[in-house]
Amino acid sequence: MITAERKPLEEIIEYIKPFKRILLLGCNECVTVCAAGGRKEVGLLASGLQLALLKSGSSIEIREHTLERQCDPEYVEELVPMIGSEEAILSMACGCGVQQLATRFKDKPVFPALNTKFMGGSLSQGMWDERCKGCGDCLLGLTGGICPIAKCAKQLMNGPCGGSTDGKCEISDDVECAWQLIWNRLKALGQEDRFLDIMPAKDWRSGGGGGPRKIIREDLAE
């Protein structure tokens, strides 16, 4: 899933300061699951903004709503009959949702309330880590199910660099060396010899190096 975190209040306030009425819009998908932009966070942000503005002597009318998914046009369409006097939309979705809104509501400013972080998964309650960079050419089958693109700071393709010490990456003791993990895993699987195959330089075109990407399923697309 896509993970995100709320932006600092100060930044959000800068966006919405000029307006009297805004729509604060949550999303019931990824950002709900990572506790960043679901109904609960919408309520809490609305209340926090209200407090911050009241404190500085102003006030604002905030209407709260949460869509099933902000990145699909049909769900966004649900807003059309309900949006009235709101002058701007503050979105608590990931960047995909924010852009979907901006595309649909051309005459209303749309602001992000979240910083979209990464594609990742849940480690345990309240903890998520990065797992995928979306390179478009998955290597996990060769690397024991551990991604050197997402998990190696240098995105090395053929084993660790000299900064790998005791299984940790030189950037921080909190970061595990991806290649150490890969090695451990291959060894456990009895596939150490895979390490001998040199991986060719990665073709980054599939990873966005060739410009914005698009998927078209011919059988579905109209």
Find the shortest distance in angstroms from Cβ 79 to another protein. 17
The smaller minimum CB distance to another protein, of residues 2 and 182, is found at 2
In order, the DSSP letters of 112-164 are ESEEEEEEEEEEETTEEEEEE---SS--TTTTTT--HHHH-TT--SSS--TT-
Find the shortest distance in angstroms from Cβ 94 to another protein. 14
The smaller minimum CB distance to another protein, of residues 8 and 163, is found at 8
The smaller minimum CB distance to another protein, of residues 39 and 63, is found at 39
Find the shortest distance in angstroms from Cβ 11 to another protein. 11
Binding residues for another protein (CB under 8 A): 8-10, 28-29, 32-33, 35, 38-41, 43-44, 47-48, 50-52, 54-57, 66, 122, 124-125
The smaller minimum CB distance to another protein, of residues 33 and 83, is found at 33
**Cβ 29 vs Cβ 92: under 8 Å:** no
Question: 25-64 burial, b if ≥16 CB within 10 A, otherwise e?
Answer: bbbbbbbbebbbbbeebbeebbeebeeebeeeeeebebbe
The SS3 call for residue 109 is coil
